[in-house]
Structures are given as structure tokens and as C-alpha cells.
A and B are shown apart, each in its own frame.
Chain A
């Protein structure tokens, strides 16, 4: 009886604990797949970390659900005739979380700090935005006016600059870089409360912030890498929204009363990168993928529609480039699955099968539990390549601490699976991943001269029709000689508590401004 009593108390405690974890009506809990590797606004680069940060840091402008620019901290902007000066007029009365006034000096500091080579930042702003806008410097015109100076005109500069998190100079100047990686002093509708590593980030509403609504007092961003655990936590009522719902669990979630799945077409481009870094050319396989003919042959080896239909449980059209529809080059057709053609082209390229049936060997690195069904997709691609004699060793890795640094330093590979976030508001936004041979997001270090000449031509043109022709030609170059084994645009699978009203976006950005309890 004593044992039974103890068991009953234990069970009650367990259930009590589970119940205690359930969010209250004024708390929203979102479960994502990865923990941030840094909270520094200049070092944040992953979508999961950005989702947290964009509730803490405001930006000059914002790209809305439909892809339109809407003013945020800035109320207007103007571009000079040369196209190399973009001036922003700030709203008055802005402040940061620590109470300090947010002025044009702080906006300038946000860019200068990110661009400072001494800080060695590799986040989205220094590693992508500043490269893509050809950043030269920043000028403070007065307290409310600031001008970004660039070396070249870029038609998408304002949209790109809208991704930079604005923060105040005073608190960040007082912090060491190590400290800045662990905390956030923001300018947006929520303030940072705490970060329990590999567990959660807690944010709290900034009372009186008027530029965006903040319907919940507290937002908790939980890091739950494993898909089944995320789904279980949602079904148990401990979480309100989960990202990357496993397609295999959609039926189970929809059969419950606790949550429903929400699927939207995605803009994330999933691809296998052929790393062109000279260090990788020391092996036979690494040298082989530096050749256009080999990369072209390998495109035929992978059955992308079958991967989509079975491992993503969603039909897909194979990507023809790095640009999301509807901005893609419509004259390009997806490479079909044709292993015989792949073998023929490899033979012609001089890579015949050896006595053991192997042409050359490669390692395919990739993340584990970052993208939908990623490990299985990596294994499937490994199988397809091995079938045509390209012996492929698959190495899935933990994303935040192991794989992400490899990618950032362009050291993943020689083959690596990656998903790069994209958008539908401009073809150039998607193409800006590869804006310079040594650019931060040119992870393959591809340096095709025709591609980079294309960028110069676009930036020299002001005619949208002429720009479209150049863009289409660049997409053709990428299709024929590019550094990606083209796969698909990943659909977004979310699951949302039935007690919450919230709709996902195709660009994977999670804005909780319009979420509300039913």
C-alpha cells in the first residue's frame, strides 16, 4: 500500500509538473529546431535566431507578408540619383530597451559595428546585407536623418537594409563581444529577459512601444531539435506553435483536438553545394566537382520529385536555379532524373568506373534536425550518387555548434546540404547569396566570371526590362554551370495549437504581432 501511495504521489507530481509547464493566457510559446549560436545583432544569421531577434530589435523598414516594404523605425527613405546614397528619415521619440534615446547615431553605429573588421562578425548583416548592397559607409546627417553610402547602385538595397537589426550605441559600447553574444538590448516591441542555453529564450513586452502590436506579455522561444518531441509538446499543450512539423506526423496532429497542421509553400532553397575551395581539390572527388561537366552530370543522378513526394510528402517541381518562383527564369526546365545520362556524362568527363565500380569518392555533410527530414534526405542523395559510382559518405551533424560554423567559414563539404532562406519580392534578393566570389554567403566560393559580370551590368542599369534580361541570363549561367546540385523549395510545415489564431508566412519569418488567443 505504501508503494502504491508513493507511486500515486509521484504520478500526481509528474502530471502537476506537466500542467505547470502549460503557457498561461498571456504567454506564447514557440518551439523551433535550433538554439541561437549568438544573440549579438551583428552575428545572428539563422532563421530561428532571427525570428527571436526581430521581436527585440526593430529595423528601418520591414518586408511584409506580401513582399511589400513597410516603414518601421524609419518613416521614409530617398535614393540619390547615383543610387549610391540611401537616406532614411527616422521617427521621433524612439528609445532602446535601456531607456536611451535612439537617434541617427545609433542607426549608424548598428551598421558601423557590423562592418568593423576588428569584430570579425559573420552574421546576416556583415555576411550578406553589406556585401549585397556594396556597403561603403554611413553618414549621420542630423539626429533623425542617416545616409547609407554604397560603392554601387543596387535595386534591392532598401529591402536588404531592412534586415539589419538596429541597436543603441550606449549599451553595446559598454559590452564586451562575449557579453553581447549572450544578451540583447533592443529597440523593438519585446525586451530580452533570459537565455537558457539549448532550452529557451524568454522575451517580455515593452509597455508603450507603439510601432508594432505586442499582444502577449511574454514570448518563450523553446529550442526542441527533435521533431517528435516538438509535436508531443504541442499535443500536450505545453507549446503553441511548432516549426518543421515532420510530414509523417501531420495525420497524428490533425487527428488530435489540441493542434492542427498549417502548411504553406516555402521560399527556402534546399540544395547540395559543390564546394570549390582549393583545399577540397586535393582529393579526386573534390577536384572532380570543380569541373562544370561533373557538376552537370551529377544533376541527373538525383530523383528530386521522388524525394519530395516520399520524404516531404508534398509534390514539388525541381528547382532550376536559386530564384524562387515567380521570379525564376521560366525558359529553364528542371533537370530530369536520368542516371544513365549521369553515367554517360561522367564517362565523357573522364571519370569512368573503376574495377570496384567506383568513379570517385565524396563526403556529403549536412545538418541533423534542422530542415524537414534532413538526415533522410542526405542519406537518399548519398544513395543516388553512390548508384552512379560516386561513392558518397554521408555525415549529418548537429546544426548550431558544429555544422553552422563549418558553413560560415566555407569549410563544409566537399558536398554539403544546405537550405538558404529566400523571398518572392525580388529575384535579386535570392541571387544576392552569390554577390561576390569571396562573399559571406557564397559558401561554395564559386567564381564564374559571367555570373559576376552580370551583377555589374544589373547595377549599371536602371531599366527594369533590361535588368530582367540580365537576371534571366544569370539564372541560365547558374543552371548550366552553377555550384549547387539543385533540389527544391522546402514547403513550410507548422503546427498550431487550436487555442491560437496565427497564420504562417512562406518566408519562414515568424511574426507574432497578429497572433491571438481564441
Chain B
């Protein structure tokens, strides 16, 4: 009989190992992560990756097809040029920055605001709950894109305004989930125990309850990034996103409208594919996260 003490793995490392195994088994989430990693790298180190200044015009070289060699036989514009002779590849790389910046920041703002309000509504209940949830209902009654257009017309286009408006537009979804989860947790023994030990309301909300409702919120956030990126593209397409000098995928799509009829496919295909792949990747990752963090949801769905 071996009396030597058994080595116990720290419990914190197990979810990561489980996650790695799960990712290796399911190939699509892995592919989604690779795509998102590429987009993230493009967003972070875009200026050093991009072959040209994305706003530099060269009207003589406008509307060049992808991989068109110049007189010296060298391909200058790998993905072609747009109506002003700007390099499509460079604009695509810089566009990733705006998409991710807006997508992630808006979700952080909406998530933080919504989760806090949801926790408060769920924990206190009564009139506080009524007021917060009625405000949420009122906001839901407005079509979001209309609300965003209204605010952007008043505030003017710009990355910061876009992030704030898209962020504020997302809080309801987090508030409703956080509220529902908090209501089911507030009578749990460990919450009672924290209260009995003299923990303050803030501690109970953010240190005791919040960690236990993070899983569904994380899943929602991953889907939400995708929908915010789509909203940013839609608003930029309508000319309400960011100024014309900031390249975004939505604005690139908008600029391609006049050229589609003339058969300049590359102006729509590349930004369209970038939006589609990024949104799809976030959705696939969200699906996987949902299955991974709460397998019961998979059965329900």
C-alpha cells in the first residue's frame, strides 16, 4: 500500500484543460478563433501590416482589379483599388480596427451598465425593479437602428459617439439576464451566508452574486459583439457611422454600391466577406461557449 500523499491538481486549471479538449474536438470553434485572431492582429498592428495609407488617393489608378500588375509587372494593389484609387487591402485592415474597437467597447459599456442595473433590479426587487425594467421595456419598444440613427443625427458621426450609442443600445439584454439570474440566486444559502457574515450590499452583488451569473452573460456577450459589429456596418453603410476618412467595412460596402452594377465585384466582396466571417466567428464561438459553460442549454436548444 502506498502511503505517499496523492497529488491533487489545482481545480482552477481544469476548466482550461477541458476547454482545450473541447475546442480540439469541435473544429469550427477552433477555426472561428483563428479567424478572430487574424482580425485582432489586423486591428492591433494594422498600421504596420497595411501596405499603404488607407486614405491615400490615386485617381489615376482607380478601380483596378485585384492582382493587376503595373507597368513594371509588379502587383501594387493585391485586392484592387476603389473609386478614388485607394488600396482596398489597406482599408480592409484598418477597417478591422474600427469594427473590433466598436464591437468590443460597445459590449463592455452595454454589459457593464446592463449587468449592474440587472443585479440591482433583481436583488432589491419592488419599485427599483419596476422602474429599471420599465425603462428597459420602453427602450425595447423602439427599433434600435432607428434610435441609433436619431442619436447619431443629433450627436454627429464619430467613433466615440458610435461606441456610446451602440453600448447604450445593448444594456437591456444584459439587464434582463442579470436580473433573472439574481432573483434565482438571492435566496441561495451562500448569499444568505454572506449576508449573515455582515457583507455589504455591494459585496453581495458584485463579489458573491456576479461571479455566479457570469457564464450566461459571457455567452450573450459573444453573440452581442457580432450583432454590434453588424449594427456598426449598417450605420456606416448609411453614412452615419464614422467620418469618411476613417475606413470601415460598412462604409466600404456603401461606397461599392455604385460600382456593383458596373461589375466591380471586389469592392463589395472583400468588406462583405470580412463582416460575414467576423460575425460568423463570433456566433460560432458564442455557440461553443454556451455549450461549454452550460451543457444544459445545449439540450434545451
- A-side interface residues toward B, CB under 8 Å? 226-228, 231-232, 246, 248-249, 251-252, 306-307, 310-311, 368, 373, 375-376, 379-380, 383, 393-394, 396
Contacts and interface: CB of A to CB of B under 8 A. Distances in A.
Contacts of B227: none
Interface string B70-95: 00000000000001110000000000
A252 B60 contact: no
A248 B59 contact: no
Interface stretch (B6-14, B20-28, B96-104, B253-261): B253-261
B301 interface: no
A380 B62 CA distance: 12
B261 to A, nearest CB: 5
A306 B83 CA distance: 14
Interface in B240-260: 243-245, 257-260
Contacts of A383: 55-57, 84
A248 B258 contact: yes
Enumerate the 9 nearest inter-chain pairs by beta-carbon distance, A residue then B residue, closest first: A310-B59, A383-B57, A228-B258, A228-B261, A248-B262, A227-B258, A228-B257, A252-B262, A246-B258
Given A228-B260, A248-B262, A376-B84, 16 more contacts: A226-B257, A228-B258, A246-B262, A249-B258, A251-B262, A252-B261, A306-B59, A310-B60, A311-B62, A373-B83, A375-B244, A376-B83, A379-B244, A383-B55, A393-B245, A394-B244
Contacts of A379: 57, 84, 244
Nearest to B156: A395
Most B C-beta atoms less than 10 A away, residue of A249, A310, A373, A396? A310
Interface string B263-287: 1100000000000000000000000
Given A248-B63, A310-B62, A380 B84 contact: yes
Contacts, number: 56
B261 A249 contact: yes
Contacts of A310: 59-60, 62, 85
A248 B85 CA distance: 14
A488 to B, nearest CB: 14
A376 B258 CA distance: 12
Interface string B188-207: 00000000000000000000
By DSSP majority rule, is chain B's interface helix, strand, loop, or mixed? Answer: loop
Most B C-beta atoms less than 10 A away, residue of A228, A232, A306, A393? A228
A380 B60 CA distance: 11
B239 interface: yes
By DSSP majority rule, is chain A's interface helix, strand, loop, or mixed? Answer: helix
Nearest to B257: A228
A227 B254 CA distance: 12
Contacts of A373: 83
B175 to A, nearest CB: 35
Contacts of A368: 239
A225 B85 CA distance: 24
A376 B261 CA distance: 18
B59 A396 contact: no
Contacts of B261: 228, 231-232, 249, 252
Interface in B50-70: 55-57, 59-60, 62-63
A389 B210 CA distance: 53
A232 B259 CA distance: 12
A182 to B, nearest CB: 23
A469 B63 CA distance: 46
Contacts of A311: 59, 62, 83
Most B C-beta atoms less than 10 A away, residue of A248, A251, A375, A393? A248
7 contacts: A249-B262, A373-B83, A375-B244, A393-B245, A394-B244, A394-B245, A396-B244
A368 B240 CA distance: 13
Contact of A252 (B84, B85, B263): B263
Contacts of A249: 258, 261-262
Nearest to B63: A248
A307 B85 CA distance: 12
Contacts of B264: 248
A248 B259 contact: yes
A256 to B, nearest CB: 10
Nearest to B61: A310
A231 B263 CA distance: 13
Nearest to A250: B262
A454 to B, nearest CB: 37
Nearest to B157: A395
A307 B59 CA distance: 7
Nearest to B85: A310
Contacts of B83: 248, 311, 373, 376
A229 to B, nearest CB: 8
Nearest to A248: B262
A396 B60 CA distance: 22
B64 to A, nearest CB: 12
B250 to A, nearest CB: 16
A310 B84 CA distance: 9
Contacts of A231: 261
Most B C-beta atoms less than 10 A away, residue of A227, A307, A373, A379? A379
A416 B55 CA distance: 21
Contact of A380 (B57, B63, B262): B57
Contacts of B63: 248
Contacts of A380: 57, 59, 84
B86 to A, nearest CB: 9
B199 to A, nearest CB: 53
Contacts of A251: 262
A396 B240 CA distance: 11
A404 B8 CA distance: 75
A311 B261 CA distance: 17
A394 B261 CA distance: 26
A387 to B, nearest CB: 10
A460 B72 CA distance: 64
A393 B239 CA distance: 16
Contacts of A232: 261
Contact of B60 (A306, A376, A394): A306
Contacts of B59: 306-307, 310-311, 380
Contacts of B262: 246, 248-249, 251-252
Contacts of B85: 310
B43 to A, nearest CB: 24
Contacts of B57: 379-380, 383
A367 B258 CA distance: 16
A164 to B, nearest CB: 36
A361 to B, nearest CB: 13
Contacts of A228: 257-261
A264 to B, nearest CB: 21
A371 to B, nearest CB: 14
Contacts of A394: 244-245
